[in-house]
Amino acid sequence: MAVETAENEWATVGERIRLARESSGISVRELARRIDVSASHVSQVERGLASFSVRALYSVVNILGISMDSLFEEATVPIAAPTLEDEVIATSQDGPLDEAGIVLRRGSRPAMQLQSGPRWERLTAKPEVGAEFIEVIYKPAPGAAPPEDFIRHPGREYGIITKGTLSVQVGFGRAEMSAGDSIAFDSSIPHRFWNETADEVIAVWFVLDAAASDQEAEFPTADSASHHHVTG
């Protein structure tokens, strides 16, 4: 795959949004009202002629009850999220992990260029249930002001900066994060990220939705790990 043009990416994204909206029985005008944009803008997005901001896109997926991951898919039929059974079967044979849908090569990442500037590249070969794992590229923007809109969505968000310096605001708190710095917070708190430097910024984000983040994490102990360890 290769990296597509923004127009082609949004033709796919827009079509998926249209199908989800119609399936939900929500009109263009109603969706536009609920995400605070014009009806003509929603129509243009659905036809691949425009794109949404990060804030609007998160609002859309929450209103329509779809995952952000599903919008990245290029296939005409959405690829199902992997199950444990699928992965056990796929890895039980001596074959490439690429073909098993476990390894994703850099040049094959599904991508999306957002209206507000950042480019999102999904880091999983298939969509995940209840989570998004993405790399975000922020274009150089010397002296740029913070985005007007804050983002908020149910769940938790984790990130690490891998290149450059990113400006971050969560609630009323602010920070300048450089390569190697990491962050974790409840994503229902209004937040925004922006690049105000002359250099490109790259960050890796893991977003866990509310249902998944509410579940208690179970970390393996030495005893439990021994039961799963395959000996030769």
Q: Domains, the chain, ranges and CATH?
A: 1-98 (1.10.260.40), 128-214 (2.60.120.10)
By the 8 A CB rule, do 91 and 102 touch? yes
Residue in the block written with tokens 């290769």 = 2
The CB density around residue 149, as the number of other CB atoms within 10 Å, is: 15
Q: How do residues 200-226 score in pLDDT, each as one tens digit?
A: 999 999 999 876 555 444 444 434 433
Coil vs helix vs strand at 166: strand
Q: What pLDDT is stored for residue 63 in this prediction?
A: 92
Q: Give me the sheet containing 165-170, strands edge to edge.
A: 173-178, 165-170, 191-194
DSSP state of 139: -
Tell me which residues of the chain have a pLDDT lower than 70.
Answer: 1-9, 73-90, 116, 211-232
Q: What pLDDT is stored for residue 55 in this prediction?
A: 85
Beta bridge partners of 161: 203
Q: How do residues 142-181 score in pLDDT, each as one tens digit?
A: 999 998 889 888 899 999 999 999 999 999 999 999 999 9
Q: What pLDDT is stored for residue 5 in this prediction?
A: 41
Q: What pLDDT is stored for residue 8 in this prediction?
A: 61
- The CA-atom distances, in angstroms, between 139 and each of 7, 112, 145, 165, 225 are 18, 14, 13, 11, 43
Name, in order, each residue with C-beta under 8 angstroms of 175's C-beta and a sequence gap of 6 or more.
Answer: 167, 168, 169, 183
The CB density around residue 186, as the number of other CB atoms within 10 Å, is: 15
Two tokens at 219?
A: 């970390």
Residue in the block written with tokens 């985005």 = 147
Alpha carbon of residue 156 to chain centroid: 13
